[in-house]
Amino acid sequence: MSVSSLQQVLHNGGFAVTAEITPPVSTDLSGFLQRAAALKGLATAVNVTDGAGAKTHVSSLVAAAAMVRLGVEPILQFTCRDRNRLALQADLMGAVSLGIHNVLMLTGDDPKVGDQPETKAVLDLNGTGLIAMARTMRDSASLPSGVAIAGGLALCIGAADMPIDPPPAWEPKGLRAKLDAGADFVQTQFCMDAGVVRRYAARLLDLGIAQRLPILIGVCPIPSAKSARWMRDKLYGTVIPDSVVDRLEAAADPRAEGIALCVDYMRELAAIPGIAGAHVMAPVNPSVLPELIRQAREAIGLRAQAA
């Protein structure tokens, strides 16, 4: 039985389209909720980041709970950087009690890259360890101590990965470990190269991984050639081919071209065996997400979801 719309789409073999928004540095959530509401019925589910860039934002748990009340399905990100396992267990139970069932488990960015570099990371667990703990809590309906969780813990557990152009005999050890730990789906770093994705997915199919672990590829409506170069150089694991940079460079309206390019690319992804969806991130220009996803759904032939 599916615990969320995301899990249902993936279980039925559909093409999921997820998006991502960042909670504000504010006690007023109205602007954040306007951005979330604009994605209602378009995104299968919407990620709520957790201290992205090792910077403080309003609690992702609070922001995700507000989205639930709005009727927008969240994917709540959990990082191991800021909480020990007791706090993580408490927040997992808290999330389910608030109607949040999709979670994405991450180790978290190093505090040294944030704006308070003196911060000490907790890192009681890593991402794979957190996946394993959450899966055990869900399946046993109990804490690691053995104490029963009244009401159970209905979760759809996500993991992260970075697509690569696989060399001969490549073994995705990290991804396999996350699958074995209990991941139900994967969202990846930006990869805007269809050839790389085809070869990456083909290898995962050969290894029997993609059949068991739905893969959502990270995509972006890149607003300019300059942005594309910066992403490729500064965001670890990002794959952006020269053809994308050249297309943006030659465009009379790079922002419009970035949206068109992303829509074209998502249509390609939907046809690649072993790929279960796209995860759309637009940190520089988040206002384009609703229209981009609307266009992509039309291009792929996906119906808009019920609001």
**pLDDT digit string, tens, across residues 26-73:** 999 999 999 999 999 999 999 999 988 999 999 999 999 999 999 999
Q: Is pLDDT at 206 greater than 80 in this prediction?
A: yes
Q: Is pLDDT at 24 greater than 60 in this prediction?
A: yes
- Percent residues over pLDDT 70 in the chain: 99
At 77-95, the pLDDT tens digits run 999 999 999 999 999 999 9
State how far the Cα of 8 lies from the Cα of 115, in Å rounded to an integer.
39
**Angle value at C-alpha 23, between 86 and 76, nearest 5 degrees:** 45
160 contacts 195 by C-beta, under 8 angstroms: no
Mean model confidence pLDDT for the chain:
96
67 contacts 36 by C-beta, under 8 angstroms: yes
Instruction: Report pLDDT for 284.
Output: 84
At 140-154, the pLDDT tens digits run 999 999 999 999 999
Q: Is pLDDT at 306 greater than 50 in this prediction?
A: no
Q: What is the pTM of this model?
A: 0.96
- Domains in the chain (CATH in brackets) are 5-219+271-283 (3.20.20.220)
Q: Is pLDDT at 305 greater than 70 in this prediction?
A: no
Instruction: Report pLDDT for 302.
Output: 86
At 169-199, the pLDDT tens digits run 999 999 999 999 999 999 999 999 999 999 9
Instruction: Report pLDDT for 1.
Output: 74
* Amino acid letter for position 46: V
Instruction: Report pLDDT for 303.
Output: 74
Instruction: Report pLDDT for 304.
Output: 65
Q: Is pLDDT at 307 greater than 80 in this prediction?
A: no
